[in-house]
Amino acid sequence: MVLVDGTHDDVETLREDIADVLQPLGLRLSEAKTQVVHMSDGFDFLGFRIQWRRKRGTDKWHVYTFIADRPIRQLKDKIRALTNRTSQQNPRDVLIRLNQIMRGWANYFKHAVCKATLSSLASFTWHRVISWWMALHRWKWKDVRRRLTDHNGRWQRPSADGIELFDLQAVTVTRYRYRGKRRNGPVATPAPRSVPTQQAPPGRLARAVKATHAELLERLLPRRRRRANPRVIKRKLDTS
C-alpha cells in the first residue's frame, strides 16, 4: 500500500518507478491486485475497508477503517453451515465451534469502526441458533421464551451443557490512535537545518535504490578470488 499526495499522473509515474525497483529483486506488481484509487472512494486491504469520509455532524474529513464486505459474507456462510435446520449435531459441539470462529474473527477486526457491524452479526447468529434449535427440538416460540428468559422476563444467552453462545456485541472496540505526540520516553528533537532540502524526483529515487541494492549484493556476496597456490588433487587410476 503506497499513499501519494499528488495527481493521477504522479501516481502512474511512481508506479513505474516502483516496478523498476522490484524487478531486480525478482518481484513484480500484480495487475489484478494493483489499483489506483482515490481515498474518498476507498479500497480493501487485509480484510479492512479504508476510506476517507466526513465526520458526522462536522466539516472535518478523516480516514476511517471499516470491515470489508467479503469477511462479513464469509463469516455468515460459516455460521449458516453450522446452524443448518436439518443438522443433527450436538448443540454443545456446535456452540464450541461457533465461539471459536466468532472470537477469533472479532479479535482481528475489533480495531475498526465495527460496533454496528458486530451488533448486526450478533443478532444474525442468535436467530440462526434459535431457528435451528426450534427445528431440532420441535419447539414453539413460547418454548423458546420459557427456556431463554429469566423470572424477570430478560433474555438469556443460548447455552448447551455449560457452553454459552459468544456475544459479538459485547466485544470492546478499541480504535487505533495516533500517539506520536504522547510517547512515554523523552524524544530528542533534531536541530533545524539551515539549508532546506529538496525532495528527490521519483526517477532519482529509483536509481539510488538500485545503486544501494547493488552495493549490498557486492558486500554480502563477494567475488571469488583465484588462489596463489592452488591445490592439486592427485587420484590413482585403477588399471587392473
Structure confidence at residue 224 (pLDDT): 56
**What is the spatial distance between Cα 1 and Cα 45, in angstroms, rounded to a whole number?**
8
Distance between CA atoms of residues 193 and 179, nearest Å: 25
User: Is it the case that residue 211 has pLDDT exceeding 80?
Assistant: no
- Residue 142 confidence (pLDDT): 92
Report the predicted TM-score, pTM, of the whole model to 2 decimal places: 0.66
Residue bearing the bigger pLDDT, 186 or 71: 71
What residue ranges do the domains of the chain occupy? 1-36, 68-170
Residue 26 has pLDDT above 60, yes or no: yes
Place of cell 470492546: 172
Q: Mind listing the pLDDT tens digit for each residue in 56-87?
A: 888 888 888 899 999 999 999 999 999 999 98
Q: How many CB atoms lie within 10 A of CB 106?
A: 22
Question: In angstroms, rounded to a whole number, what is the distance separating the alpha carbons of residues 98 and 84?
Answer: 13
Residue 188: band (very low, low, confident or very high) from pLDDT cuts 50, 70, 90? low
Percent of the chain whose predicted confidence (pLDDT) is above 90: 33
CA distance 143 to 156: 14
The pLDDT of residue 233 is 45
Measured between alpha carbons, how far is 218 from 213 in angstroms, rounded to an integer? 9
Q: Confidence band (pLDDT; 50, 70, 90) for 175?
A: confident
Contact 135, 85 (CB under 8 A): yes
